[in-house]
Structure 1
Amino acid sequence: MSDQRSGTAWDAVRAAIDAEDPAAVAALVAGFGEGERREVARELPGHLSEARRRGEARDAERRAELQREWDARVAAYRRKTGDRHSTTDYYWDLWVHHRTYVGSRWIEPMRVAGAGTLGGAAAVVSWLHRRDFQRWTDRDDVPLILQAVAARPTAWQADLAVRLAMRLRGPSRDARGDAGRSARLTLELLRRTGAEPPAHDPLTLAWLTTWSPPQHPATDPPTDPATDPFTDPAADRTADPAADPLFDTLLPRLFDAEGVGRQLREDHERPAWLAGLARQERVPRESLLDGCLSRFLRGGTAADLRFFVRLHDALDPAPEEVAARGRDYLRLLPAAPPNVADLALKRLRRLGPLDPDEAAEAVEGLVFRAEGKLVRAGLVWLDRLAGDHQGDLDGYAAALGAALVGESGEARARAARLAVKHAARFTPAGAERIREALPLMPAGEGVALAEVFGGEAVPAEPEPEARPFAPPPLPSAPEPARMTPPVLGPAGLPTSRLSEHRWLVAERWLDVFVRLAATDRAALTETLAPVAGLFPAEMYRSAPWRHLKIWAAAMAKELTEPGAEAKATAGHPDRTPPTTRERLPEIAGTGRRMPLRRFAEVYEALVTGTLPPYLLATPTHVNGRLDAAELVDRLEGYERAGAEALPVDLEQALLRLPRTVPADVVERAAGLTGTAGRAAARWMTDRPAGPRVTLRRQESGDGVFVADPTGSATLDEALADLRGEEAFEAHLSVLPSDRELVAAHAVHPALADAIHRRPAAAHLALLAAADGPGGPAMALLVAHCLCAEPEETLRPLLWLAASGGLPGAEVGAELATLFRRDEANEREYRLYSVAEVLGVLEEAARHGAHREVWQIMAGLLTGYLPGPGERATVTHTRLTTFAADVATWADARGELPRIAELAARSRESGLVRQARRLHTRLAQ
């Protein structure tokens, strides 16, 4: 074949490498003889630095080409849209057109060349794993390497496969989540050569990533390699995993390899499929069942054994199969993870009568466990076994004694009832085992047993004398700082810092502009002359004006050239310039839209000559609040000057007023005679209650806030855009006395589980210093902050309680929803700590918020305590205990149905006892 080429074999391979063509390299080396392979192998390592240098140069060229393409698309997009979209908008739209950049394309040709020409299998393995060939994302060169080595001897390929297998480290995956290329190459070589896969755990894990149960013909049609770019032709041989040549060898290793359970934690398909193979006798059923048991006996975490528990349940062993492995099941009861012990218990209880010694061993293994559920199950089983057994029960005395001193109060009470129920069936030796436990039981719990079995029990402790509860007064929220007086000069007009995202800068700028326009227009014109020069005449014919700087420049232009807009548009009678309303952009967010509306209004008043001497809505405090007395002062000045209020400015001023106005200020407002003055007086005496926000939850647990229209343009905008993204402080500055609306906007991302925009305790602190009633939005915000930042939420919680803006019962209901959703999730960890939330609530109650905390606890207990058929936990008991304490502090009255239901239960437990205590307190 060498005679058919011009030049040497190395010349041809080097040319293909330099052309970054791995397919050409594979085709060449696949046809080489031994001499040609040696020639290339001799030259290849020395070409590494040159190949990298050439590749980096081509990468630079490709990046430059991509940047030029990107810039051209951005420019075209801007021309098409008229720059009406934000930077985020057009970058997002362009992303789908941008080619994925892949650099270092010299790597695959070099890898293929080395695999096909280097002499020893060990040398090939080292070559393929060179650090020079590693990058963030790999291109699939497995088919090409297989082609390159196909002509090598089978024994050589088998040696390569085994050596590659031993180099695997962990469950290698590529950027798409598939098995990494080293793993896929290894497995395919093992299949082609028939070599024995080495006993290496990472190989087993890699094999797992290459297969899943076969596609369902009705719902998952096979992929077509001609239309699916991610289809690997080599994957066809494992479309049915059971047909994989490696299946019979590697399947049994699932039960021995470390990491399999962790990798398959969330796998719900393989267990049912493997059980189906067992029913078809494709896989020995005994090997699967014994494999599960051996894996259980080896130990591990409950999460890592979850897959094997599912497989065992899918196999559903018959009673005779369980009986044959009875000793193994018994060994699982004392120390296996809860899910495995529960599995073993269920299987053993389905058997007939057990040997007495084995039965006693099983029950004793359960009652020594820490999980109350398993302890109770063991005691129930003990009661059944005792009924089936005809002789004495001394064999169960040790188990009862262990349960009597266990951690679970409910288990101790059940064990005590069982001991009394079967007391006559214990011999003196068995009774002695019961008596030995009495001194170790909590005070008062062993008294009834001592009366039956004798011995000395710890007497019940006297009820502690109740100390009077004397909480301190609630602390008020700190008063927001007052705005500094305006700087009437160039320093007060920082146009370069103007932005719809900086509400305070915009407020100061607009205030100074209007004041100087009335008092020193010449100085104002001189200061803004450079800004006016930045405003092109063609802007008058465009819309929208999206940024405050555009409006500020237009105002500056009008100062320097009065009537500039009329002059600029006079020469185009066929084109009517946009109105002020048309120039306002349709952007989301009240906090962004209100400054634009106010700048637009001031510009229009400047053009028409109706600009007032100052603005009404400029806040007096840094949170956007406007003191009512200050507004009356401004309105009185308007009436003396004969000035008319600007509509949007007046609307914003009224929205910034506190909801409670001193009587003397109301009396002064009543004396105003102008239109704006009368509107302010009506607002102060008969302000609308504000929209009632309602939370509508969906089946998924997500939700949305809704409210009826109010008639106020600003309020209705805020209601229509609760899902928009904008700064919390900007929104609050527009609506400082409608904190429920601001809270709805702040907490809405949490309803959609948007992790990047979670509500924060800092937001809650700002709302505590604001005004307005609280509702479901405030409740949800408080609940999220209590769960996410419990310590940071304590002070804002106290401030809200002092202001009367804390909807306690609704907060409790939302906490219950959050806790239940957290527990329903199959994660290995919990997002929220009930104990931490409870600690903060107790601290708040002791600092004077005991009445509000009781309302929270009432709502929390109603939604969170277990109902019929649900399992109670120590957390439920702790919550009810604290609720009983805080109900006493708050002198609470009135029945809670969930507490009444628990208190009426006949079964004794810590939760029931505390529910009875709370129920008695509420019934007084």
Structure 2
Amino acid sequence: MTNAWDEVRTAIDDGDAAAVAKLVIGFDEARRLEVARELPGHLPEARRAGRLKEEERERERRARWAVLVERAEREGRSVYALAELHDHPAAEPADGWMEPMRVAGAGTIAGAAAVAAWLNRRDFERGFEPLEIDDVPLILRVVAARPAAWQRDLAVRLAQRLRGSRPVADRRVRLPLALLRATGAEPPEHDPLTLAWAAATAAGELPDDPLLPVMVPRLFSAEGAGRLLRSDEGWAEALTALAADGRVERERVLAGCRGRFLRGGQAADQRFFVRLHELLDPAPEETAPHLRDYLALLASAPANVADLALRQVRRSGPVPPAEAGEAVEGLLFRPEGRLVRAGLAWLDRLLKGPAADVDAYAPALAAALVCESGEARERAVKLAVKHAGRFGPLGAETIRDAVATLPAHQGVRLAAVFGGEAASEPEPVPFVPAPLPHVPEPVPMPAARAPEALARLRLREFDWLSSEMWLDGFVRLAARPDGRERAALAGALAPLAARCDDDRYGWRPWWRTAEWAAAMARELTDPGAELRAPVEWRATVEERVPEMTHGPAGKIMPLARFAEVYRAQVEGRLPPYLLATPTRANGVLDADALVQRLEGYERDGAEALPLDLRQALLRLGRTVPAEVAARAARLTGETGRKVARWLTGRPAEPRTVLCWGTHEGDTRITSEFVSGPEYQEVLGDLLVFRFHDESCKMLLAVLAGHRELAAARSAYALKSFWPLEKPKAEDLQLLATAEGPGGPGLALVLAHFLLAGPSGGAVGPFLRLAATGGLPGEETGVQLGDLLKRGGDSPSAVIAALKAAAEQGAHRQVWQVMAGLLPACLPGPGERATSAHTRLMTFAADVAEWADARGAVAVVAETAGRRRVTELVRQARRLHHRLTGTSGELRGQGAGEPAAGPS
């Protein structure tokens, strides 16, 4: 007769958790203790058995692969075309011992604390939770046989062990929740438990959830609850319905929302509680006792909370004058224009009230007079003048103190009513243009053209420079006819050659340049190794090159170049050197060097490798001295004549089109390129659309003479929230040192970093592009306007960055940016102007003076001609006068409003 442990161990080894549950439920106390003693010692053995099972499965997989490869070779097909390749036979999981062990421990270990520790052992953790394996129902069955108090203790202990946020399907979340519901245990006050309950409970399940009365109040105090629920509208509706039915206490929910608002937090994290409060729609008699709480939210709460609080204050009835004045003052210092306008409208109504209360509102009006927004300031001046006769001596003195702080044209109007001395117009500080900084030449490309230097190079995935140096050095040394030099190279590369064994020829594709370099070294040390590899294993060179659309172009283009050189080596047609090796460390190939290499090709009778020639043209620099063009014209070969045409009459540049879209809810910026047949031949499928993010650095190494193409394609994930490769400030510097005209792609990347202000890394590249004539100024302004609209960013940081560039000599180029930015971002018909628009117009007027700009801008002329004079209109008139020289009346200018002159 077998003992208890033998029976349980057999079921564990079979991966049968249900059998384990059935056994332990029927055991008496002695047999349970016997199993509990043996369980910890069985863990290493179970792991070892699982590892052996996985190794056996891998051997079977390799054998199956070999059979499929042999069949594909026999049928002359690709192995990837065989339907059987995708038929994976069902296999028992190698870690199937985990669930039986967990069930055994839950059913036999004596103490609740020990069971909780057992179930949370790291030995039972996987990288993911398989949907088809669920031991929670079995654990619930085996613990149901324990005493009720023991079960409640276990439920609480498991709940207290929750940490962080886990997926709702995680058994560490589902098990304690199920036990708490089943046992009626009091849930511990533990924020991770509250978050787990909210994440794992659907809105439709709330009415029947026994945890509802205890857990709902904790939602309002648990850290992270707002972030978790901010996109789940179903919960807000469900809780509102439950409050209407009396299942949850309505006043407690409203109090919880208020407490959450007063605690503070980001607007997104308050979104759920704002929506819940709005759905509950408290009556004025419900909110009136809490008026002070709502007033306290007006000054500093997130905008969505302040909006809600303002609505409640309006519905709650009269507000005592002192508190009303303080609340209005808080609104007037907020950055949101709509709340400032609401505060001014409220202040206007208050000032119309009883005369005895008017002086109480003078501090709020004084705050409005020093508001950052020119529009708000102007409205405050009108309010002060309108109600001047209602202020007493104390209130009038408060207003009078603000007169000197106002701009001269507003201070004069206020001083005429309240007295005081208005500030005089400040004398403009003359702008002294500085020369653009000197741009140094890019440093030469380093070389490794000795066997020992080549052997020391390490080929790394994201180091394009070492790959180029290695390929250049290998071709130059391997193509030399001197046997001693070839022997020296073979000796130096022998360790590298040893990495390419016969099995490697059957693998496909080769994703690392180091793999290709090892094969080249093997072919050098063991000529014919490629052709001697068994046919049934060997893949062709073409099959080992990844498809161009299967990865980033900046990664696959170098692999294709290595493959091209390797094939030429195997076929005995290596050229004496490569055409595309850069001459500059920024990846650019000087025209003089390319012509010199082609002259050598024609002298030696060498043929260019097709992909090498395409790469050379993509790296070709834009400076072509007349003497170099004349030498190119004397080339007689087909390759030489083609390069000569590019040097003397380069085809029209590809046109870039950027398209904003989303992928699984995440922002993506795709790029399309329109080009003629010459560029289509050279680019090939490099820039076809693919769902891959690009490293700007790697892509620019391929497109060093075409920075616009590299910038546009690498901008794919520029605004993504996913952990993808996206352009960095260092990449913008590389784009500035590359060559080629800029367009929407370069402008977008530059604009993105201008949004970060002077310290964002854009000012230096901006100055370099300006100095070298590569700055797409107006297009940068267009992209800036688009980004400001999409992201809702403040223009303050952009203005500071552009001002820094202007002060360092790029004032004319900054004006070009503003000429593109103003039409892209100024409000159109029916749209409301904000203080941000005023700041942009003011800065544009300043820059136009610095750059001595001329030529009307339509949107500026339209704004300048508006009848209602705001600070935005005033600055637009100043700018329009600068651009056109007009000094007469503008269309719609109100009587009595002086025409704006230069400041």
Q: How does the TM-score come out when normalised to structure 1?
A: 0.76
1:807, distance to aligned residue in structure 2 (A): 0.9
- Identify the range of structure 1 (794-803 vs 399-408) with the bigger mean alpha-carbon deviation: 399-408
Q: 2:361 aligns with which of 396, 411, 432?
A: 396
Distance 2:162 2:543 in 1: 61
Give the 3 Å change call, closer, same or farther, for CA 319–912 of structure 1 in structure 2: farther
Matches of 1:544 and 1:429, distance apart in 2: 84
Contact 1:171/1:206 (CA < 8 Å) preserved in 2? no
Q: How does 1:826-837 map to 2 (within 5 A)?
A: 836-837=797-798
Q: What displacement does 1:534 show?
A: 11
Are 1:812 and 2:743 matched, yes or no?
no
Task: Give the C-alpha shift of residue 734 in structure 1.
Answer: 4.8
Contact 1:171 1:209 in 2 (8 A): no
Aligned position for 2:671:
704
Measured after TM superposition, the shift of residue 778 of structure 1 is: 1.9
Is 1:69 the equivalent of 2:57?
yes
Give the deviation of 1:661 after TM superposition.
1.7
- 1:592 matched to 2:558? The reply is yes
Conservation of the 8 A alpha-carbon contact between 1:213 and 1:270: yes
Deviation at 1:282, TM superposition (A): 5.4
User: In the TM superposition, what whole-angstrom CA distance separates every residue of 1:279-300 from its partner, at most 9, and x where no partner exists?
Assistant: 5665565554454345545666
Any idea what SS the aligned residue of 1:245 has? coil
3-state SS of paired residue (2:824): helix
Whether 1:361 aligns to 2:323 is yes
Structure 1: how far apart are the matches of 2:85 and 2:434? 57
Once the two structures are TM-superposed, the CA of residue 365 in structure 1 deviates from its matched residue by 0.9
* Residue matched to 1:776: 744
**1:419 and 2:380 aligned:** no
Provide the residue aligned with 2:899 in structure 1.
Answer: none
- Aligned in 2, Cα 1:435/1:494: closer, same or farther, shift over 3 Å? closer
Deviations 1:17-45 (A, max 9, x none): 8988665565456556xxx54x4687787
Shift of 1:856: 2.6
Deviation at 1:379, TM superposition (A): 1.7
1:57 aligns with 2:18: no
1:500-539 alignment runs, 5 A limit: 502-514=467-479, 516-517=480-481, 520=482, 524=486, 528=490
C-alpha distance after superposition, 1:129-154 (max 9, x if no partner): 46973554599655444434434555
1:794 aligns with 2:763: yes
Q: Distance in 1 between matches of 2:700 and 2:89?
A: 34
* Identical-pair percentage: 44
In the TM superposition, 1:711-750 aligns within 5 A as: 711-712=678-679, 713-720=681-688, 731-750=699-718
Which residue is equivalent to 2:106? Answer: 112
Describe the SS at the equivalent of 1:702: strand
Does residue 467 (structure 1) correspond to residue 430 (structure 2)? The answer is yes
Distance 1:193 1:729, change over 3 A: closer
SS at match of 2:684: helix
What CA distance in whole angstroms lies between the structure 2 residues aligned with 1:559 and 1:208?
Answer: 67
- Which residue number corresponds to residue 689 of structure 1? 652
**What is the aligned partner in structure 2 of residue 219 from structure 1?**
none
The AA in structure 1 aligned to 2:791 is: D
Measured in 1, the distance between the counterparts of 2:824 and 2:750 equals 17
Work out the CA distance in 1 between the residues paired with 2:736 and 2:773. Answer: 10
CA distance in 2, matches of 1:389, 1:765: 64
Contact 1:592 1:730 in 2 (8 A): no
- Give the match for residue 306 of structure 2: 341
TM-aligned CA deviation for residue 552 of structure 1: 3.8
**1:420 and 1:449 in contact (8 A); partners too:** yes
Q: Would you say the 8 A contact 1:173–1:180 is kept in 2? A: no
Match of 1:273 among 238, 247, 270: 238
What is the identity, as a one-letter code, of the residue corresponding to 1:209? A
Q: Distance in 2 between matches of 1:28 and 1:398?
A: 80
Task: Show the 5 A alignment for 1:634-673.
Answer: 634-637=597-600, 653-673=616-636
Q: Which amino acid aligns with 1:658?
A: G
Amino acid at match of 1:798: L
CA distance in 2, matches of 1:663, 1:597: 36
Please tell me whether the aligned partners of residues 747 and 758 of structure 1 are also in contact (alpha carbons under 8 angstroms): yes
Aligned AA (1:737):
G
Shift of residue 450, structure 1, vs aligned partner: 3.0
Q: Which runs of 5+ in 1 are unaligned?
A: 1-5, 215-239, 824-831
Distance 1:152 1:760, change over 3 A: closer
RMSD of the TM alignment (CA)? 5.1
What amino acid maps onto 1:720 in structure 2? Answer: V
Q: Does 1:479 align with 2:471?
A: no
Cα drift, residue 912 of structure 1: 5.3
Shift of 1:511: 2.8
Query: Secondary structure of the equivalent of 1:368?
Result: helix
Unaligned runs of 5+ in 2: 886-903
3-state SS in 2 of match to 1:777: helix
Query: By how many angstroms is 1:844 displaced?
Result: 2.4
Letter in 1 for 2:329: V
CA shift for structure 1 position 804: 1.5
Question: In 2, distance between residues paired with 1:903 and 1:469?
Answer: 28
Report the equivalent of 1:177: 168
SS at match of 2:41: helix
Q: Distance in 1 between matches of 2:880 and 2:416?
A: 30
> What is residue 843 of structure 1 aligned with on the other side?
804
Going from structure 1 to structure 2, the CA distance change for 1:344 and 1:548 (only over 3 Å counts) comes to: closer
Match of 1:222 in 2: none
Structure-2 separation of matches of 1:597 and 1:906: 69
Aligned pairs for 1:118-133 within 5 A: 118=110, 123-125=111-113, 127-129=115-117, 133=121
Deviations for 1:363-410, whole angstroms, at most 9, x for unmatched residues? 531323431443431220232355576987345334324433455554
2:208 to 236, 243, 267: 243
Q: Is this contact kept in 1: 2:624–2:647, CA < 8 A?
A: yes
Q: Which moved more, 1:552-561 or 1:784-793?
A: 552-561
Contact 2:168–2:174, Cα closer than 8 Å, also in 1:
no
Amino acid at match of 1:425: R
Which residue type is aligned with residue 655 of structure 2?
Answer: R
Matching of residue 883 in structure 1 with residue 844 in structure 2: yes
2:112 partner amino acid: V
Q: CA deviation at 1:316?
A: 2.8
1:776 Cα deviation after fit: 1.8
**Given that residues 332 and 344 in structure 1 are in contact (C-alpha distance below 8 angstroms), is that contact kept between their aligned partners in structure 2?**
yes
* Partner SS state of residue 685, structure 2: helix
> d(CA) in 2 for partners of 1:18 and 1:680?
71
Q: Is the 8 A contact 2:658 2:712 kept in 1?
A: no
C-alpha change, 1:630 and 1:159, in structure 2 (3 Å) is: closer
Larger Rg: 1
Counterpart residue identity of residue 811, structure 2: H
Q: 1:796-835: per-residue Cα shift (whole Å, max 9, x none)?
A: 3322222212212222333333344334xxxxxxxx8865
Query: How many Å apart are 1:213 and its aligned residue?
Result: 1.3
Give the drift of 1:63. 1.8
Q: 2: distance between equivalents of 1:362 and 1:582?
A: 77
**What is the distance in 2 between the residues matched to 1:534 and 1:300?**
57
1:663: how far off?
A: 1.6
Query: Residue type of the partner of 2:565?
Result: F
Mapped contact 2:475–2:576 kept (Cα < 8 A): no
* Contact 2:300-2:334 at 8 Å conserved across structures: no
Once the two structures are superposed, residues 139-172 of structure 1 have per-residue CA deviations (whole angstroms, 9 ceiling, x without a partner) of: 96554444344345556655665x548x626776
Pick aligned residue for 1:765 from 733, 737, 742: 733
- SS of the residue aligned with 1:704? strand
Contact 1:628-1:661 at 8 Å conserved across structures: yes
C-alpha displacement at 1:262, in angstroms? Answer: 4.7
Report the 3-state secondary structure (helix = DSSP H, G, I; strand = E; otherwise coil) of the residue aligned with 1:711.
helix
Q: Is the 8 A contact 1:759 1:784 kept in 2?
A: no
Give distance in 1, aligned partners of 2:713 and 2:169. Answer: 40
Any conservation in 2 of the 1:591–1:726 contact (CA below 8 Å)? no
Q: 1:734 to 1:597 in 2, by over 3 A?
A: farther
